Amino acid sequence: SALTQPASVSGSPGQSITISCTGTGSDLGGYEYVSWYQRHPGGPPKLIIFDVSNRPSGVSYRFSGSKSGNTASLTISGLQTEDEADYYCSSYTSWNTLYVFGTGTKVTV
């Protein structure tokens, strides 16, 4: 089943926020293959973190990822209005589905 994320997180410009992503030992706890995606309304998802804590080229340093046990986290520091979007975590899983996504978190700035 889907990874669990808070439905919404809000913050003021310049603040830091953290989005949690909770799974099980069959997904987050079993693999170092956690990724995070940003999706603005009407657009496709954009990869912002891969393999737990790596940023693709061109993604702001303000985005950082980590994992402990069955929970992964995305931190956005120095919050900007352009960060207002939906965020999804994802993990490889040993279930038949191979890849599972989180329930999604709406970030409001």
Partner 1 sequence: EVQLVNSGGGLVQPGGSLRLSCAASGFTFSNYWMSWVRQAPGKGLEWVANIKQDGSEEHYVDSVKGRFIISRDNAKNSLDLQMYSLRAEDTAIYYCARGGTHYYSSGIKYFDYWGQGTLLTVSS
10 lies in the binding site for partner 1 (CB under 8 A): no
How many Cβ atoms from other residues are within 10 Å of residue 57's Cβ? Answer: 4
Which residue shows structure tokens 């079993």?
Answer: 30
As a whole number of angstroms, the distance between CA 92 and CA 97 comes to 9
Is residue 50 classed exposed, middle or buried when 0-12, 13-18 and 19+ CB atoms within 10 A define those classes? Answer: middle
Among 8, 15, 97, 108, binds partner 1 (CB under 8 A): 97
Site map (CB under 8 A) of partner 1, residues 36-75, x = contact: -x-----xxxxx--xx----x-------------------
Residue 108 CB, nearest approach to partner 1 (Å)? 18
87 lies in the binding site for partner 1 (CB under 8 A): no
Amino acid present at 7: A
- Among 99, 90, 35, 100, smallest CA distance to 65 is for 35
Among 18, 33, 60, 84, binds partner 1 (CB under 8 A): 33
Q: Which stretches of the chain bind partner 1, using CB under 8 A?
A: 2, 31, 33, 35, 37, 43-47, 50-51, 56, 88, 90, 92, 96-104
